Structure 1
Amino acid sequence: MAWRDAKASKVRLLLFIASIILGIAAVVSIQLFSTNLKDNIQSQSKTLMGADFIIDSRQEPTARAKAIIDSLNPDASEVNFVSMVAFPKNGGSKLVKVRGLEGNFPFYGKIKSEPETAASVYQESGGALVDATLLLQFNIKPGDSIKIGALTLPISGALKSIPGSSAIASSVAPPVVIPYRFVEATELLQFGSRKEYQYFYKASDTLNLKRLEDKLEPILDLENADLDTHTSTTRRLGKRYENVGRFLNLAAFIALLLGCIGIASSVHIYIKEKLSAIAVLKCMGASRGQSFLIFLIQIAGIGVIGGLVGSLIGVALQFVFPYLLKDFLPFTLEITISVQPIAIGIFLGFFMSVLFALLPLLRTWFVSPLDVLRVNVNASQEPQKIRVLVYGAILVFLFLFSLWLIKDAWYAAGFVLATVFTFSMLALVALAFIKTIKRFFPKHWNFTARQGLLNLFRPNNQTVVLVVAIGLGTFLISTLYFTKDILLAKTEVGQSTKNANIIILDVQPNQREAVAKSITSQNLPVLDNIPLVTMRMHSLKGRLVNDIRQDSTRQIRGWILNHEFRTTYRDSLIASEELLEGKWTPRLKPDEPVTISISDNLASDAKLTIGDAVVFNVQGVLMETTVGSIRKVDWSQMQLNFSIVFPEGVLEQAPQFNVFTTSAPNETSSATLQQDLVAKYPNVSIIDLRQIYTIIEDILDKVSWIINFMAFFSILTGVIVLIGSVRTSKYQRIKESVLLRTLGAKNKHILQISALEYVFLGLLGSLVGMLLALISSLCLAVFVFKEPFLPSSTPFLVFLPGITLLVLGIGLSNIQTVLRSSPLEILRREG
């Protein structure tokens, strides 16, 4: 009977199975895509370092540090240092960062050069890769030579980007890459030279980098060495990756909910139409269990088939993604497929179908044989207790599913409560709307307008069901869109003139005005003019730094004790800072105690709190200070941030230099500016950050496109399910429209009546859903993504009229059969 009835009702069950397939396909594809994307982008993020982890030291490693380095068997090594280089072709000179590389570095990403082959042959050919902007600046081409100390090498190619160039603090000049074996021949590494040794490692899949860092970092810290993993190096992007994962999980949750709405609405109408047939079956001797099992088997079987088909579609989409993304992603998207998502998809299809169809299915149990003769549409109702149990089971399922997605019980509970709240609000608004129309019914309107309103509360109406379906669909789609905007607002780096990409160092006080004039004369903005004073810590809370350094039980991090701090002074906080503790001091009067502001990470590593004493050695002069405030610094913003900030009125007379920042729109303008400044001010050093922007922007572009794609995919799913929800009302409209035609109504009257009804439903459902989406998106922004929320007007300008027109179009298509056929023909067909 289940098979025969399904064959006879295949057209009406099409909406049901479509809802399952779409919901499961969306969940499986998003979950698989999320996993593959996370793996791929995580792998790509390693290009910022070029390795899984690095051990580095500012001096030749000690015996103990060298033993640790050798025991881990480094795959590549580097020594880098800052030096002036010369170009024999035209006598030009420039401060650069020389990187002597040995081994197969990088392990992730690649060195980009012009010509492309230069990056792979420079080691064997014994040439140098020189920063592309530097070559433009001095009119040098591959094939010319560069002089580094006592060594002259041919230039193999122009260096466009190289992994490992993201450490801005240590990059005081454009990079020049040479083979490691030539470093000694430069004769530049003498006693006291500032240099850095780096050892690169490619980790096995089984190596726990976090455990390795926790174990070795304290040991290496005592040896003045450091261990950095690729995750710590890319910490600036970590929050974005975390939010992208949350967004994809939200998209999967929304896709499942949309599928559930489609299942519930289609089965609700399907079973409602079968109640009279079930009553006939019971008159012929069928038991409650038999009539119930007929439709349970039918729904469960379709759920399994829909889950299988949806899973296969979700898996198939994974193989389409590389072709869809090939023009957007500069890396090959590697897809891995397992049996687990297919099994989960089939289970979800079965469980969703049975659970969300259970309430209408239970009505078959309580159908009485007398319902064949009864006209009352509410003759068969399940007991209130059973209804509560089913609703409880649905809530538990949604909670467990969201917990599986986001791995956080509080967030999962929040999603479920938000869904229940939205559902309840939509149902209450629909009921209030019906009561309001009944109470203030416009009796003086014309016939078609009155009939359109009457349809909203006539017997067997679907106002509440459709308002909830339309509203919930609009709510989910709008929430997804608003959330997409929250994330995309944070995936912009260096896209406007407000972001500095050129840093000009070592500007002396008597050069400030002239350097600023040189920048503005080339139509470039002076973004920052920051004074810098270098100093070291002499004592902390009364203990000399030398004594603390010798204490093996100290809790203060080693970098604090050895670091040369570059500090500044100003009278206000900047955009990347937030005061956490204490009081900000803008300016000190003469003879007032010096209070400083420190960053929260410095306070944590140095174990400092408000009121603690710190003595600095300012280039030979000791200065007593007190911690007056602690700031939270957003190091993710690509600008000059400082661990230590002095108030004005303290360091103005100290030996200092200034840092200017500007933004060059292209490589040519950057080179022109650098040529002009180096020619006029040989002591000035210039850092071009565009190489770092290139790597970061590539990754953020990938993230942006994927967010847009997944939002579009889920929104499309929601629109299709919305179509299914409205189409389920077709069979309730046919008989009434036929009766109207029998009584003499013309086609235009029927169209007007139906149009008004669906416009009311579409406007009400979509408007309430959108307003609720604003509230939910604000909560998501504040509590989940921890980002500011600026709502877009697009949903109100596009979704509100768009969904209303969509509902109107589907509703009018429902009665096309009535308009094209005679009343008697339709009545016979329906009978």
Structure 2
Amino acid sequence: MAWRDAKASKVRLLLFMASIILGIAAVVSIQLFSSNLKDNIQSQSKSLMGADYKIDSRQEPSPRAQAIIDSLKSDAYEVRFASMIAFPKNGGTKLVQVRGMHGGFPFYGTLETVPALAGTTYQTSGGALVDATLLLQFNIQPGDSIKVGEITLPIAGALKSIPGNSALSSSIAPPVIIPHRFVEATKLIQFGSRKEYEYFYKAADTLNLKRLEATLEPLLEAENADIKTHTGATERIGNRYDNVGKFLNLAAFIALLLGCIGIASSVHIYIKEKLKAIAILKCMGASRLQSFIIYLIQIAGIGVIGGCIGSLIGIGLQFLFPYLLQEFLPFALSVSISIQPLIIGVLLGLVMSVLFALLPLLRTWYVSPLDVLRVDEKAPQEPLKIRLLVFGAILLFLFLFSFWLIQNIVYAVLFVGATVITFILLASVALGFIKMIRLFFPKHWSFTARQSLLNLFRPNNQTVVLVVAIGLGTFLISTLYFTKDILLSKTEMGQSAERANIIVLDVQPNQQEDIAKSITEKGLPVLNNIPLVTMRMHSINGRLVNAIRQDSTRHIRRWLLNHEFRTTYRDTLMPSESIEKGEWVPELKPNDPVVISISDNLASDADLSVGDPVVFNVQGVLMETKVGSIRTVDWSQIQLNFTIVFPKGVLEDAPQFNVLTTAVPNEEVSASLQRDLVRSYPNVSVIDLRQVLTVVEDILDKVSWIINFMAFFSILTGIIVLIGSVRTSKYQRIKESVLLRTLGAKNKQILQITAFEYVFLGVLGSLVGLLLALISSLGLALFVFKEPFLPSVIPFVVFLPGITLLVLAIGLSNIQTVLRSSPLEVLRREG
């Protein structure tokens, strides 16, 4: 009986199934990808670092730190720094990351090289391993030579991969590995050079790494060093994709929730249409249980089939993610397929369909055989206790599902709470709208306008159901769109690259004039000459940094206690900066107290406000300052931004180096400038922002594609839900339209009545949904993604009229049967 009845209602049930398929597909694809990513990171954790643990320092280790390093008997160590290199064969130059290596690193994984033996013999042969892509770019082969600073080395092999290196970092600063004994001869380690010392260890007892980290971390922290274990590396890698992961989980939650709404609204109207048939079945002797099970089998069967199809689509979709994210990952992501996502998809489909259809399904239990004869079309109501139990089960399911997705009980409660509040508000708006129309009914309007308004509150109306379905769909779609904009705003490139696309770093004071002359001789402008002074914090608000380090109850973030700040001095704000608190001081007179401007993130992390004192150690000289202003800085722009800015008249005599910027018109001029600068000044580094932007934009395009794809996927689910909700209301409007035709109404009048009704419903539902989405998106931006929220106008100019037109189009299509046929034909067909 369930099968026969389903065949007669296949159009309505297919739309119902589409909601389940899309929701399940989103959940399965995202969860399977996240599981694969987590498993890969854990299984390759040691290979990602190349060791069990390492100690690193951004300066030459202090005597106490060196004593700790020596006591642990390091098996391998390196010093790494950025520098320009040159290929004597063709004069090519490139900014690279030079890694002076000693010992048998890596202990896990391998240095993949061509030829294969080069990775193990380069130290004894005295050659260099150069990034394979870089060699292809400059048409260089193993056996040719490379100039690093003051020395020239043979190229022992092409470096294809090294543990822990990603395609992004390799594209911007490709690795060049040289034997450690040649580092001093390069003469590239000078004042102001950005360098890092790393010591690698292979642990005999890997189970006690956490204990070792807990013991050594405070000791090394006091010496401006740090210890990292391979397990900590996996956590840091996972954190890189935190916001994208949150968005994908949000998209999955919204897609599933839209599917649930589609199920609830579709089944509500579908069962309402079947009540007379159920009453006839009971007249013929069917029991309550039999009539209930007939439709339960239908709904459960569709849930299982939809879950299977959705799971298969989700499994296929997740194969796209490794390809799109390969630039981010420092390892090759292998995809494994298990039976688990298929089981989860089928179970979710079954639970979703039955649970969200349970309330209308229970109404079949209370249908009386006398309903066949009753004129009153009011649907039978289940007892309040049963209704509350079903609502409680639905809320519990949503909470458990959201908690499973985001692993945060507070966020899960907030998500479910926001959904419930939205539902209540939409239902209240719909009921309030009905009441307002009744109280202030426009009696002098035209017949068609009055008739369409009457349809909103006469018996058998669908106002509350459709306003809630349309409003929730719009709310979820718009929330997802606003959230997508929050994330994609971080992927937009700053416009400063159009003004300055070449940055010359590590310029010593005695080189400034000559390098500036080299730039201007090529007809290029010197856009900026920015001085940099390195310093560390000595005390904050009267408390010594060393004392703060020992305080386990501190509110100050650990990173700034060991950080070597690169500060500058100037008398103007940059376009990417704005004063949030205090007053900007451009220049100080002699003997004036020193006031500084700090970024808002530093103020938060250091627990500083305007007027607070900070003492800096400027290369051994203590300098007392106080916070004069706090700036908001747009860090997303690719340009030189600073956490600390001094006014003019303070740091001019301090040891410093400079950064010069210029703009080149094309690749040929850029290559010529880089060759000349590297040949004459081997200590400087040149960053070609055109190359960096190309690499970064390519990666961000792929991330944007994933975000847009998942947003589109969920929006498509929402549209299917809206189509299903409005389409199923067709069977409630046919009888009224036929009666109007019988009474002499023309097709034009019926079209106008239907159009007005659905325009009212579309505008009301989508407008309230949009306003609620604005509020929820603001909360998500502030508390979940921790990003600024600038709402887009697209939902208001596209979604509001678009959803209204969609509702109108589906509503008008509902009555085409009435308009094309005689009333008797329609009644026979629908009967």
TM-score range normalised by the length of the shorter chain: 0.7 to 0.9
Deviates more, 1:815-824 or 1:669-678: 669-678
Alignment correspondent of 1:308: 308
What amino acid is the match of 1:728?
T
Matched residues in 1 for 2:454 and 2:79: separation? 83
- Answer whether contact 1:615 1:625 (CA < 8 A) is retained: yes
Identity value in percent: 71
**Deviation of residue 368 (structure 1)?**
2.8
Q: Does 1:68 align with 2:67?
A: no
Secondary structure at the counterpart of residue 497 of structure 2: coil
Alignment correspondent of 2:809: 809
Length, aligned pairs only: 818
Change (3 A) 1:132 1:355: closer
Alignment correspondent of 1:429: 429
Secondary structure at the counterpart of residue 183 of structure 1: helix
Alignment correspondent of 1:265: 265
Alignment correspondent of 2:482: 482
- Answer whether contact 1:471 1:769 (CA < 8 A) is retained: yes
Matched residues in 1 for 2:698 and 2:120: separation? 25
Secondary structure at the counterpart of residue 803 of structure 1: helix
Matched residues in 2 for 1:750 and 1:364: separation? 32
Alignment correspondent of 2:356: 356
CA deviation map 1:663-709 (0-9, x unaligned): 65765443333356568x85972332657767655543432221111
Q: Does 1:451 align with 2:455?
A: no
What amino acid is the match of 1:652?
E
CA deviation map 1:799-831 (0-9, x unaligned): 223222222222232233334444323322322
Alignment correspondent of 2:179: 180
Alignment correspondent of 2:345: 345
CA deviation map 1:584-629 (0-9, x unaligned): 866544334546677899999999998667474657xx44525547
Q: Does 1:472 align with 2:476?
A: no
Matched residues in 1 for 2:490 and 2:192: separation? 40
Secondary structure at the counterpart of residue 55 of structure 1: strand
**Deviation of residue 251 (structure 1)?**
0.7
Q: Does 1:759 align with 2:763?
A: no
Change (3 A) 1:422 1:210: farther
Alignment correspondent of 2:686: 687
Change (3 A) 1:46 1:447: farther
Matched residues in 2 for 1:430 and 1:353: separation? 25
Structure 2 unaligned runs (5+)?
Answer: none
Matched residues in 2 for 1:514 and 1:82: separation? 22
Change (3 A) 1:434 1:499: farther
Change (3 A) 1:455 1:558: closer
Matched residues in 1 for 2:191 and 2:496: separation? 41
- Answer whether contact 2:53 2:227 (CA < 8 A) is retained: yes
Map of 1:463-612 to 2, 5 A cutoff?
Answer: 463-493=463-493, 497=497, 502-505=502-505, 507=507, 528-534=528-534, 566-570=566-570, 587-594=587-594
Secondary structure at the counterpart of residue 359 of structure 1: helix
Map of 1:227-306 to 2, 5 A cutoff?
Answer: 227-228=227-228, 241-306=241-306
Matched residues in 1 for 2:630 and 2:190: separation? 38
Alignment correspondent of 1:397: 397
- Answer whether contact 2:534 2:566 (CA < 8 A) is retained: yes
Secondary structure at the counterpart of residue 277 of structure 1: helix
Change (3 A) 1:601 1:119: farther
Map of 1:768-807 to 2, 5 A cutoff?
Answer: 768-807=768-807
Map of 1:718-757 to 2, 5 A cutoff?
Answer: 718-757=718-757
- Answer whether contact 2:100 2:182 (CA < 8 A) is retained: yes
- Answer whether contact 2:107 2:202 (CA < 8 A) is retained: no
**Deviation of residue 650 (structure 1)?**
2.5
Q: Does 1:412 align with 2:412?
A: yes
What amino acid is the match of 2:69?
A
**Deviation of residue 219 (structure 1)?**
4.9
Change (3 A) 1:337 1:216: farther
Matched residues in 2 for 1:586 and 1:812: separation? 66
- Answer whether contact 1:24 1:349 (CA < 8 A) is retained: yes
- Answer whether contact 1:751 1:812 (CA < 8 A) is retained: yes
Alignment correspondent of 2:386: 386
Structure 1 unaligned runs (5+)?
Answer: none
- Answer whether contact 2:324 2:703 (CA < 8 A) is retained: no
What amino acid is the match of 2:272?
K
**Deviation of residue 258 (structure 1)?**
0.8
Alignment correspondent of 1:708: 708
What amino acid is the match of 1:716?
L
- Answer whether contact 2:598 2:630 (CA < 8 A) is retained: yes
Map of 1:7-86 to 2, 5 A cutoff?
Answer: 7-36=7-36, 54-56=54-56, 59=60, 62=66, 64-68=68-72, 70=74, 78-80=78-80
Matched residues in 2 for 1:162 and 1:88: separation? 25
- Answer whether contact 1:151 1:185 (CA < 8 A) is retained: no
**Deviation of residue 247 (structure 1)?**
0.9
Secondary structure at the counterpart of residue 72 of structure 2: helix
What amino acid is the match of 1:262?
G
Change (3 A) 1:569 1:106: farther
**Deviation of residue 460 (structure 1)?**
0.9
Secondary structure at the counterpart of residue 773 of structure 1: helix
**Deviation of residue 350 (structure 1)?**
2.5
Change (3 A) 1:187 1:480: closer
Superposed CA RMSD in Å reads: 5.6
- Answer whether contact 2:50 2:105 (CA < 8 A) is retained: no
What amino acid is the match of 1:625?
E
Matched residues in 1 for 2:601 and 2:504: separation? 26
Matched residues in 2 for 1:561 and 1:290: separation? 72
Deviates more, 1:777-786 or 1:495-504: 495-504
Matched residues in 1 for 2:752 and 2:189: separation? 91
Alignment correspondent of 2:650: 650
Matched residues in 1 for 2:189 and 2:736: separation? 97
Alignment correspondent of 2:624: 625
What amino acid is the match of 2:153?
L
Alignment correspondent of 2:830: 830
CA deviation map 1:121-163 (0-9, x unaligned): 9949965467999999999998764455885434579999998
Change (3 A) 1:600 1:375: closer
- Answer whether contact 2:111 2:119 (CA < 8 A) is retained: no
Please report the TM-score for the alignment, with normalisation by the length of structure 1: 0.79
Secondary structure at the counterpart of residue 457 of structure 1: coil
Please report the TM-score for the alignment, with normalisation by the length of structure 2: 0.79
- Answer whether contact 1:222 1:558 (CA < 8 A) is retained: no
CA deviation map 1:516-537 (0-9, x unaligned): 6875787877664332335678
- Answer whether contact 1:111 1:162 (CA < 8 A) is retained: yes
